[in-house]
Amino acid sequence: MTPWPIDEVLPHAGEMILLDSIEEVESERIVCVKTVRTGGLFQDADGSLPAWVGVELMAQSIAAWSGCRARADQQPVQLGFLLGTRHYQCNTDAFPLSQRLRIEVERTFHDAHGMAVFSCRIDAPDIHAEARLNVYRPPDADSFFQHVAGVTQHD
């Protein structure tokens, strides 16, 4: 599968795109890269990136994988939802400035309704984080949002 430019496969825009690029992409797995640089969102005063941002890096990597699949099938990139995570573990409080992070995600479960589970990890020298992320991508996002808006208006 083609490793598309990151801004072409994410449903994010501008500085909300936290990833730099896609290194590898396969049918059930993707590896993305992020180098911690000054001036980005969520950074601490010293330029480091708090470790909790690792969950978003993992979620964006999942979105990039989904976007690559959509582009390969000549379909539009669609919005998905992070439902939650189990046991996010990270051996550091922050990802230091200039650190190159390797984010790998692999789909371990999916169903026909759009639910999926991914095993995720972030690795760098002396850094390791891992989690399992539960995600949902509605088969028809427009219908989903119309339904949700209708339910909200009637509550």
Interior CA angle at 5 toward 74 and 72, to 5°? Answer: 20
Q: What CATH number should be reported for the domain whose range is 6-154?
A: 3.10.129.10
So what's the pLDDT on residue 9? 95
When mean pLDDT is compared over 4-13, 22-31, 34-43, 80-89, the highest value belongs to 22-31
Strand stretches in the chain, DSSP E: 21-25, 29-35, 49-50, 81-90, 94-95, 100-110, 115-124, 127-136
Tokens of 52: 């909790």
Query: What residue ranges do the domains of the chain occupy?
Result: 6-154
So what's the pLDDT on residue 154? 57
So what's the pLDDT on residue 5? 93
| Least confidently predicted of 48-52, 64-68, 75-79, 96-100 | 75-79
So what's the pLDDT on residue 45? 92
pLDDT in tens, 109-143: 999 898 999 999 999 999 999 999 999 998 766 66
So what's the pLDDT on residue 3? 78
So what's the pLDDT on residue 86? 79
Per-residue exposure over 117-152, b if at least 16 CB sit within 10 Å of its own CB, e if not: bbbbbbebeebebbbbbebebbeebeebeeeeeeee
More confident residue, 83 or 12: 83
pLDDT in tens, 17-68: 999 999 999 999 999 999 999 988 899 999 999 999 999 999 999 999 999 9
